[in-house]
Structures are given as structure tokens and as C-alpha cells.
Amino acid sequence: MFPWLISIVTAIGSVFKRNEEPTSVPSKRRIEEEGSQSYENGNIGGGEETNESGSKRIRRKNSYAGNYSDFAGKRQVARVPRRNRDLEAVEEYRRACGNFVLDLNAVPHCQDPVEMIRNIKEAIELVDRNDFQSFIEAEKEIRRRFQSDPVLMTIQRQMISGNPNENIKKAKCTHIFFDSKRARLAPKEFENAAQSLRSDGKRFRIRSNTTDNVMEMIPAYCHISRDPLNIDVPVSLTCKNTERNIPSRHLKDLDKECENFLKTFGPIFLKEAHFFNNVGFACSEICACKGCCTNNVTWMVDMKLNKLELVREHSMAGFKVRTLNQIPAGTPFMEFTGKIMENDSLLDRDYAFQISEKKEVVKFGKMMGAKRGSDLQRLFTEAYTQNVWMIDPKKIGNVARMFNHSCQANVEFVRVFQKSFSPSNMRLLVVPNEDVFPGEELTLNYGDPYLRDHIGFCVCGTDACLYNRNVKKRTMSQLEEDFVKSHQEKYAAFKEHVLDKIEG
């Protein structure tokens, strides 16, 4: 409606072709994983801590549990820690979402990370590993959902085909072509003490479910250790899972219904543009449709259809997130969640992701019809010019926080608002920029500044890698040819080991 204000997310084709035409439906790579040694030693107060590399950082005082009077000295005034209020907000969202069933068999979340790590270690199990069987079971479960759910029965599921989409091919190869020409950096030296993968068909299951939700089972495995006593359980596995973002403070005056902009269930193909040039707006429960129409791109995300797992395959790296089922390019399949905070309030930015910039106040205000000098324009100005907003998933979030870095990543983020253009109503959806096959890792490009300043090296090994000095020079036609060939090989393996087993 306002093309001169913002580039709205583009939709090409259709993910879900309805049998009829109803208007509504029912309702990183973490190169050095944060260790747990300091917590196990009882050092959970404020002060300094030293990691294995010898570097130090300042850590704020414990806010996990206990009476505030323990830290208040002579004041002896009992207060509810902010952490508890955040956890209560998580439970409130769970009760309201209608798609949460508590997993009583999973290790329950505990505010004390020392105790939770101890409980996780006690529950570690040696289990069989059969990747192809896991892929088959994941595909069968999704098909069962589409055949039994009265809503999903009205939708034709998109499947990966034998050849890649032309738009995807051109976008990916263009990205590789230009990034392969950039200057390369020398990586920092690090000790490569990687353990070899197990070859006995076994693996250790560290957590049976990291989400606590039966409707979204995401286990965590270790594929390298042969002794459960030597398995390192990082603090990152003690994160409280949340299905929705937790605002640090509500901007209630901005939380109101406004016009809709993303009018499709189609796949989202992001143009080669800056992150802040892409945005969508989706219906919600406060709309006349109650959020149950084709203008709610978040609807399939909330259905939690995809099967994921966390896997550790390298002793020098963190867990990776991989999919057990096919995810066609452009299909929003999950959300990056955490606590929405002002940038100035963040003490640790290891996992945080910036979701706004100050100049956006103009375009959002005009989209909402805010006139210059009006109260609404004033609220937008206060919300977006005084603060830069971040999603911080370090203590409260979901598995999207575990995406490893790749200079040639296969997923991207897109912002979708519901109810209003308030930061508290922003959702960060995860969208693959190419077809992702079962068993593939889901990776995100952290950006050159973060990679250069905070990590110092990369092991993705792609032609687009900032630290890969052995890039083979290829023309655009050669890149496109290799891209198609790689896709066809992966599809052939997927068809042979999964589709043919189910259909034949």
C-alpha cells in the first residue's frame, strides 16, 4: 500500500494451494560453547570468571532464585526477582497459546543452573542412532498431521521437487559469486582437539526434550562422547524455553490493531536487501477473523509441524540444529524467541539479535496513519528513536538461539508484526533461503562484524567464507550448474532413503 515507505516481503508461488477457496480457516556456530565449570564450582555470584582460553569477563550477580534479602545486606526486604516475573510470563503465554502440553518425562526447568545441569547429567541415556529411520518417522508424522487435522486437510502441503526454484538458484549463486571475490582474513589460531564421531550406531541422549512441550519435541544428542561422565553439559542447555517473546516492558499505547500488509500463505522469498527493508504484518486474535485467515503467515509456525534436534559433533564447537524433515525454500517454519529488551539494558550480547533501528519511526508511523504532531506519532517517536530493540534469548528463548554461523547460511530472519507496530508485538520468523533436506544443519549468517570481532575464525568452508583462502574461482554459469547438481544429488538421496520407503 505504501511501496515508497518499505519493501514488503515478497511472496512467489503458493505454499498451500487450497482445494477450495475459503477466505478463512479454523482455528552459532557457537565456536566456543559457554561452559558450565564456573557454575559447578559454585561461582554463581557477581565478579569475574575465567574461561578455558584464559579470557575474563564480568558477570552480574545471581538473579536465578532465592530471596532478594540474601543480596540486599542490611535492607532485608523480600522482593520477587525479575527473573521470576519473566518465568511467569512464559507460563502465561503457554496457557494462552493452546498448543502446549507439558512433557512430564523431560528434565524440568530449574532456576538454579547448577542443579539443572546435575539433573540433566543424571538423565543421560545411551540410545540407538538411525538417521534414515528418524527421517522416515518425521515425514510420516507430518503426513499423519495433514491427513487427520481438520484444518490441515484443507491445505496442500508444499514438497521439495527434483530441481531448485529458479529465483532461489539465482539469488544464492549471486551471493556466492560476489562474496567469493571479497578479501579474506587470516583466522585466529586455535587448538583443534576434535573427537571423532562414533561409528557404532549409538549416541548419548542428553535431553529427551529441550522445550518441555509434547507438541514440539526437540531432543539433544552427543555424537562424539563414549563416556557419559565426560559429557559436558553447557549452561545453554538450561535455557527456559518460550514459545513467544517476553517484553521487558509493555508499550500498551502502541499495542493496538492496524492494517494488514502480508496477504498470503505463499513462500517468502527475501530479496537481496538489508534486513530492515523486509517486514510483514499478520492478523491476530484481535482481528475480526481471530487470526484464522490467509493473512496470518505465523499460523503454520504455531502449528509446530517440523521435527528438529540438537546435535553435538565437534568438541570445539557447540550444538548444531538440524532438521529431520524437508523444509522447502521460503517456508516460515519457526520463530526466534527471547526477551525483548532495549539495547542499553543488555549486559551480555552473545546471543542477542537487533530487531529495530531508530529511523524506522517514520515508516511505521506513516503505515499506522499517524499524523505529524499526533499522540500516536509521539508514541512511535518515543519507542523507536530513544531505543534500539533487541531479542535476548540467553536465559529465556528457544532452539533458534543455537543456530551456528555459516557465511553461506540456509536460513534468514524476517520480521512480522501482529496487532501493532509496537516492538512488543514483533515476531522474528525463520525462513530458509534454499530447500533444506532431512539431516541438514540449519545455519545463520551472524554478519562479518560479529564474526571478525567476536569469533575470529570460521569453519564453514564455503566459497563465501570470510576465512577461506582456497576459494576456487567460478563463473556464474558454473556456480548455477554446481548448485543444481548439488540439489539433484540431495533430492535423489532423500527420495531413495525416505520417500520411496514410505510410498513404495
Which residues are CB-contacts of 459 (< 8 A; sequence separation ≥ 6)?
29, 31, 317
Contact by Cβ (8 Å): 285, 302: no
Maximum Cα–Cα distance across the chain: 74
145 belongs to a structural domain? yes
Write the DSSP symbol of residue 359: T
Instruction: Choose among 415, 27, 68, 84: nearest CA to 246.
Output: 84
367 belongs to a structural domain? yes
Cα angle 401, 403, 406 (rounded to 5 degrees) comes to 140
Contact by Cβ (8 Å): 323, 314: no
- State residue 34's pLDDT score: 39
Reported pTM: 0.79
- For residue range 65-103, list pLDDT tens digits in order: 333 223 333 333 344 444 567 888 888 877 777 688 899
Cell numbers 516481503 correspond to: 9
What count of Cα atoms within 13 Å lies in the side-chain half-sphere of residue 349? 13
pLDDT band at residue 188 under the 50/70/90 scheme: low
Between 18 and 492, the more confident residue is 492
- For residue range 246-304, list pLDDT tens digits in order: 887 655 555 543 333 333 445 555 555 556 667 788 888 777 777 777 778 888 898 89
Write the DSSP symbol of residue 497: I
Residue 282 pairs in a beta bridge with 418
Is 447 a residue whose pLDDT tops 80? yes
- For residue range 52-74, list pLDDT tens digits in order: 334 333 333 333 233 322 333 33
**Any alpha helices (H) in 291-358, and if so which ranges?**
299-303
Dump the DSSP string for 410-468: SEEEEEEEESSS-GGGEEEEEEESS-B-TTPBPEE---HHHIIIII-------TT-TT-
| Packed helices 476-494 and 166-179: angle between N→C axes, nearest 10 degrees | 130
Which residues are CB-contacts of 311 (< 8 A; sequence separation ≥ 6)?
220, 221, 222, 223, 319, 320, 322
The arithmetic mean of pLDDT across residues 395-420, rounded, is 91
Domain range spanning residue 462? Answer: 7-45+92-503
Weakest mean pLDDT among 213-217, 414-418, 451-455: 451-455
Query: Chain centroid to CA 329: how far?
Result: 16
3-state secondary structure labels for all residues of 102-139: ECCCCCCCCCCHHHHHHHHHHCCEEEECCHHHHHHHHH
56 belongs to a structural domain? no
57 belongs to a structural domain? no
Task: Cite the beta strand spans of 338-433 per DSSP E.
Answer: 339-342, 353-354, 389-392, 396-397, 404-405, 411-418, 426-432
380 belongs to a structural domain? yes
Which grid cell sits at 99? 498448543
Contact by Cβ (8 Å): 276, 360: yes
Contact by Cβ (8 Å): 313, 223: yes
Task: Cite the beta strand spans of 139-276 per DSSP E.
Answer: 155-156, 202-207, 220-222, 240-241, 246-247
pLDDT band at residue 109 under the 50/70/90 scheme: very high
- For residue range 157-167, list pLDDT tens digits in order: 889 999 999 99
Burial degree of 376 (CB within 10 A; 0-12, 13-18, 19+): middle
The most confident of 66-70, 366-370, 487-491, by mean pLDDT: 487-491
Q: What is the β-pairing status of strands 246-247 and 56-59? A: unpaired
Which grid cell sits at 350? 552473545
- Provide the terminal-to-terminal Cα distance of the chain, rounded to the nearest Å: 49
139 belongs to a structural domain? yes
241 belongs to a structural domain? yes
- State residue 197's pLDDT score: 82
Tell me how many domains the chain contains.
1
The arithmetic mean of pLDDT across residues 118-137, rounded, is 96
Give the domain CATH number at 407: 2.170.270.10
Please report, as a single letter, which amino acid is at residue 220: A
The arithmetic mean of pLDDT across residues 411-436, rounded, is 89
Dump the DSSP string for 364-408: HHHHTTPPTTSHHHHHHHHHHHS--EEEE-SSEE-GGGGPEE-TT
214 belongs to a structural domain? yes
pLDDT mean across residues, the chain: 76
Question: Strand, coil or helix: what is 157?
Answer: coil
